Every structure is written in C-alpha cells, then in structure tokens.
A and B are shown apart, each in its own frame.
Chain A
Amino acid sequence: MTLEDVGRAVQIALVYFTILYLTGLGGLFSERSGIVNIGLEGLMIIGTVTGSYGTHLFTIDLGWGVPWGPIAGLVLGLVAGLLFSSVHAAATVTFRVDHIVSGVVINLVAIGLARFLSQIFFGQATQSDPGQPHLVPFDVPLLADLPGGLGRAFQSMSPVVPVAALLVVPATFALYRTRWGLRLRSAGENPEATRSLGVRVSPLRYQGVLLSGALAGLSGAFLSVEVVYNWREGQTLGLGFIALASLILSNWNPVRLMGAAFLFGFAQAIPLRLSDAPLIRELPPQFIRMTPYVVTIVVLAGFVGRVRPPAAAGSAYEGGAG
C-alpha cells in the first residue's frame, strides 16, 4: 500500500460520497417533513436509466464547449426521480398508506419500470450501450498537486462532486435559517402543533418527498452518466440503502451527513484500492462491504452514541384539510 493507493481510494470514496450525499440529503428532507422514505434505492434506479437516456437524447453539440448530453442526462434523471417520488408522496400523504409499504412498493416497481423504460429507450432491457458522453473531468486546483500521490484523490474529478458537496450550504440554510425550513421540520416533529399555527402540513410533506425524489434521481443519473458511462441493471448495488444508513448515522443533520457519507463511501473504496493494506489483507472484501450496515445497526442499538429520528416521521397526519 502506498500513499498513491490512499489517494486513489479517496478519489473513489469521493465518487461514492457524491452518490450517498445526494441521496441521503433527499432522504433527509423527506424524513424531516415526516415521511419515511425507504424507496430511495428505487428512486435512484429510475435516475440511472433516465439519466443515461438523457445523454443519448442530446448528442448534438450546441456550442460554448459545453457537453449538453450529460447535462440533459443529469436533469432528466432529476426530473424523473421527482415524478416517480410523487407516487410515494400521493400514497403516503394523500392516501395515508403506511410509509414503509409504499417505500417497498416503490423499490419493487422501480426495478420493473427501469427494465420497461430501458426496452423503450435502448431496445434492450438490462443495459444501454457503453461509452456515453460525460462531463469533462477536472483537477482541483492546489489539492491535485499534493505530494506523494495523495493528489490523485483530487484529479480528474467529475464537476458534480463539488456541486454535491457544496449543496450542504443551501441545504443547511434552508433547513435552519428559513421560515420554510422551520415549518418543514415542525411538520416532521409535531404536525398537530404545526396545523394549529395555521400552517398546512400536507404541502410541506409533498415538498419534502419530491425533493428526495429529485435528489435521489440526480444521484442515480450521476452514477450512470458520470461514473459508469452507461446504464446497467442493478448498478445501484443497494447504495440507496447505504444512503439511508448514512442518514441515520448523521442523526438527520445535513452537515454530519457529509461525514457519514464520506465514511461509508470510503468503506466502499477500501476493497477496490486498499485491499493489500495491513489488517484489510486478512479480511475477505465482502466483510468490508458489510461495514456500513454493521455500523448502522450498532449506532441504532445505542451501543455507541444516540440518534433520534424526527418524532412524527412514519405516522400519517390525520388532520382534516391539513
């Protein structure tokens, strides 16, 4: 193991971080509004297939040196995720279906819907042709020149990575410094009190769920457009569930979510780049992939630290016109 290996591992970890952070942040908005969303994986799946299709849609170069295909792909993934999450929103908010049931259905339907869409988009059910266009990767100034190969971590990075990381600023501001954020959080903590102050709960919860769909869809599109360069069935590999795990570890806080997403992202990178490190060498790679799940169980069980989900998350709000 060399420092360069560490650099490469961090490089991969940053890619995983982006996926986990975008999806986890989506889940955060949804759960903070009071709607549990275990359908994140399914929303990501829809993002992957539509994102890949978007790059095929706009192959013509409109100029200014900007590759429009990948941007169209990312936007399409975001929109598709948003639209698909409206099913979850309608089911849980309007029809008051159990959040877990609806989330499971979302995940189940997404797999089939992705195959169906793929058949329409690409004429084959399980993948698109490889070698899609993607955004021009860049080297982060200064950081890319770090000595000893560590700079590797910040070379040829997708522009989406810093965008995802910087989302922490507007997300934190919106959640803690705006009236909307206060209302969203109160809808997730105590919807009855929210309603009694004349604030309608349902629109807030719709917004929370739709935001989760948009962000998870974008995350999926990032995976197929910017990481793999094509769509393949099953490429999300349960990352939606790891994003859920990050969300729990972060205690539903956007800043702490960055740390959790990077930590779990790094766990994914270890078997790929640091398999010959001491200690790691002795472990089968599958055991390292388990770590996010094990950590989450340990944290949830309260063996280490304490996490507290939004109080009303998971329960239907029964108020009349709410």
Chain B
Amino acid sequence: MSGPRGTKLVARREPAPWVESLVGQLLALLASLLIALVAGALIVIAYGESPLVVYGAILRFSFGSRTGVGYVLAIATPLIFSALAVALCFKGGMFNIGVEGQYLVAMVTATWAALELDVLPGGLHVAVVLAFAMLGGMAWAAVPAILKVRTGAHEVVTTIMMNGIAISLLSWALNGPLRFTNAPEGQNVDLRSDPFPPTALVGDLGKLFGVSRGAHLSWLLLLGIALAVAVWFLIRRMRLGYEARAVGQAPGSARAGGISIGAVQIKLFLISGALAGLTGMQQILADRGYLPQNYVSQLGFTGIAVAFLGQNHPIGIVFAAILWAILARGESALQLETDVPREFVIILQGILIMTVVIVYQVTHRRLRRRELGRAAIGEQDAAEPAPVGAVG
C-alpha cells in the first residue's frame, strides 16, 4: 500500500536518476572542495597569512597568463592518462594500483624505441614510440591480469609487487642498456639515457596559443582528451563497456548472463595498462627529450586520487586533472609570493582527496538508499492498483 509519502513521490515530477546522481556528485565535490579550502584557510591563518591572498596567488599563477594556463595543462596531461587507466579497471570492479609500475616500464620500452628505431621518418617514429609505451604498460599489466583470472591472486597485491619490480627494472635499464654513452670526453654526466632524436619528440602545442615553450605544453594533451572521450565511448557505448559494468556491479548476474568474467577482466586490464603506459611520455618526449635519472614517480598513485576526484568518469577526470594541476602549479605561487611553505599545497591536495573520498562514499550511500526506497515503492505500486491521485 503506498502511504502518503509514496503518493507524494509519484505525484511530483521526479528528476531522472542520472540527473539526481550527477547533481548529487557535483554537490559532493563542491562540499569537499569547500571543506578542504576551509581547512586549508585555517592552516594559512596559523601562518599569519591571509587565505584570500594565498588562494588568490594560486589562481593568478594558473589563470593570470596564457603561459600559466599552459603550465597547468602540461601538468594535467600525464594525470589524465594515469587516472583513465585507474578508472577503466575500476568500472570492471578491479583496482589497478599498478599504473605506477606500468608507466615506469613503458618509459623503458619507449626510450628503447626512441633511440633504436630512429630510421623511421618523423611522424611515424613518434607514433611508434607511443605504441611501444602502450605495449610496455600492457605487458606489465598482463601479469597481474592473467594471474588474477587464472589463479585468483588479488590484483591489488600483485600490482603493488609489480610496482616494486618495475622500480628495480628501470634503475637497471638506466645503469645498463639505456645508459648515456655519447658523453663528450671527460665530461661527467648524470645517469640518464642518450638524448632522443628529434623525430621521436612530441610537438609543442603551446605556440599555437601564445604559450611560452617553457611550459612544454604538447600534443599529448589533445591525445589525453581524445582518449578520455574514447574511454567514455568504450564504457557507455560498446559491448566491452557494458560487460565491464555488469562485471563490476554484479558479477553473479554477469556470469548468469553469459559474460565471460575472466575475458572481460583481462581485456580491461590490458587497455588500462596501455593507457597507463602513456603517463610518462609528457616528461620524456615533450619536456626532457631523454629518460632522466630523476624521472617523475608517484604519477600512478596521483592518478588514483585524480580518478576519484573525477568520480571515475572519463570526462570528469579531465577536469579533475586540471583542478589537481592548478593546485600543483600553486606551489610556485606560494614560494614566490607568500610565507606559507610550498608543501602547503600537498597538504591541501591531501585533505581534498580524503574529504572527497569520504563525502562521495556518504553521498553514494544516500543515493543508493533513495533508489532502493523508490524501487520498493515501485514494487508496491505494481502490486496494488494505483491510487487515483497518483495516476492523475
């Protein structure tokens, strides 16, 4: 029997569930941002600075000039790849913590291709280098994927272990096969690879928009956005995406529906590894032009944070990466313009991601409960003759 509450719910025009979900998620994000900014403001006040000045400086550094925007987008570029890799696995109910190791290995394979396959012409060479990066990431992702499906070894632990192996592997490659050999006589050079031939480098994108070359904004940004759209298409419009969501949300039903869970998981993990492989390319193909000893690390883990900030939605991830990059860029702003140490930004990012994770979790439960409640009412309506008021 639908009580007064039920009647009211049916009578009112209900927003579509996805609208409700989107609004809920946006509100959750705004709430988390607000909480993080307030917590950050308290720290700033403890330093005897004005939060408005500090936040203003961060924003001005990002949006005050075209080059500022260029820097932000360049910082965001690798994060888009690593976060997409995380999100894709997550849709299938798996956790790829191995993005870190996958992109480290990909830097090795890409460096090899950049140095050894230099007979290829310009446009083709860089494409092959990117393909090698994707293959490297894929190969590294294949191990945990196959072990998960074949032996049931949990992907979280195996990918953590694969990360550890990747760190040693990269260190070995830099000390051995990829080590800089053409150093001028008697010159002491850092541990690094040979410089790449120009054909292996990704072109500068900034000059089209009046961004200074120093920002190293590259075509990889457009590749990242294109891949975000592609991942969205894959998840929402392709068979594999449908199967992935089924496996992620209800593995039992998926199996009953004739989906081979193992095959879906392996495919997702391989694509995820390929995406992960592109993470390090901004640094070595656009920024440096060689594989340096102080190669960027932690981008895989940061990608997990960005994926959650973007609610594992491919398009949301692009914006989340930019938000993360604005904060990262703010580090320089703090150092130059305020007395607050630049590390404040990392704390702010930490508070933000922790609040986001908790607030999303709470919101998710709320929405789910409402959905269940509505489903229960729907069942009642179906069982009983609909009340007159409700139909009218």
Residues of A within 8 A of B (CB): 36, 38, 87, 91, 95-98, 100-102, 104-105, 107-109, 111-113, 115-116, 119-120, 125, 238, 241-242, 244-245, 248, 284, 286-287, 289-290, 292-294, 296-297, 300-303
Contact = CB atoms under 8 A, between A and B. Distances in A.
Given A104-B304, A109-B350, A284-B172, A97 B357 contact: yes
A322 B156 CA distance: 27
Interface stretch (B11-19, B159-167, B268-276): B159-167
Q: Name B's interface SS.
A: helix
Nearest to A125: B343
Contacts of B158: 297, 300-301
Residue of B143, B150, B353, B361 contacting most chain A CB atoms (<10 Å) = B361
B312 to A, nearest CB: 11
A256 B228 CA distance: 46
Contacts of A294: 161, 165
A9 to B, nearest CB: 19
B302 interface: yes
Top 4 A-B pairs, shortest CB-CB distance: A112-B346, A109-B350, A286-B172, A116-B343
B350 A96 contact: no
A238 B167 CA distance: 10
B39 interface: no
Interface string B342-364: 11111101100110011001100
Contacts of A36: 156
Contacts of A113: 346-347, 350
| Tier of interface size on chain B | 35 or more
A97 B165 CA distance: 29
Given A38-B160, A290-B168, A297 B153 contact: yes
Given A91-B358, A248-B157, 5 more contacts: A97-B358, A101-B357, A112-B345, A116-B343, A116-B344
8 contacts: A109-B353, A112-B346, A112-B350, A116-B344, A125-B341, A242-B164, A245-B164, A302-B152
Contacts of B162: 293, 297
A150 to B, nearest CB: 29
Which of B162, B164, B350 has the most A CB atoms < 10 Å from its CB?
A: B164
B157 A244 contact: yes
A293 B305 contact: no
Contact of A297 (B161, B168, B298, B343): B161
B301 interface: yes
Contact of A286 (B171, B304, B362): B171
